[in-house]
Amino acid sequence: MVELKSHQVDTVFHALSDATRRHMLQELTQGERTVGQLAEPYSMSLAAASKHIKVLEGAGLVRREIRGRTHLCRLEPGPLATAHEWLSFYERFWTGRLDALERLLKEDDTRKAAAAGTQEKPASKPGHDT
């Protein structure tokens, strides 16, 4: 596994741990949004939205640009790749474990079927010996 900076992974997952911040990131996949636009679906204050955005900025997931009085936010997807890389290791780990379990279950089914086949030999009918 590629070693990832623990702090970087921690800050990304912390930022993603909140549903509001995840929704904000999803909104930003459609393009730049103002702080007001990101706050609007939640009827939250600009200050509250700004706090969420600061957490996203701290994780490197959002870049804020100030144009006059307007604060525009833009998605920075790089850290999401870091999170994906970290999760991919565990996806491969569990896929390997589940594949091994599937093989064992199939082998067990095959053994049981073979054992049942040897126990179910047809009995010869009386008077019909060959």
Domains of the chain and any CATH numbers = 1-112 (1.10.10.10)
* pLDDT given at position 26: 96
Distance CA 118, CA 78 (A): 60
How far is residue 82's CA from residue 3's CA, in Å, rounded to a whole number?
10
Predicted pLDDT of residue 123: 58
Instruction: Give me the residue label for tokens 């992974």.
Output: 9
Mean pLDDT, each 10-residue run in order, the chain (130 residues): 65 94 96 95 93 96 94 93 84 81 88 79 58
Residue 105: half-sphere exposure toward Cβ, Cα within 13 Å:
6
Alpha-helix residue ranges (DSSP H) falling in 1-130: 6-16, 19-28, 35-39, 46-58, 78-119
Plot region of 88 (φ>0 → left; ψ -120 to 50 → alpha; else → beta): alpha
Integer Cα distance of 75 and 26 in angstroms: 9
pLDDT at residue 3, as a whole number: 47
CA dihedral over 65, 40, 82, 17, signed as positive or negative? positive
Distance CA 44, CA 81 (A): 29
- pTM for the full predicted model: 0.66
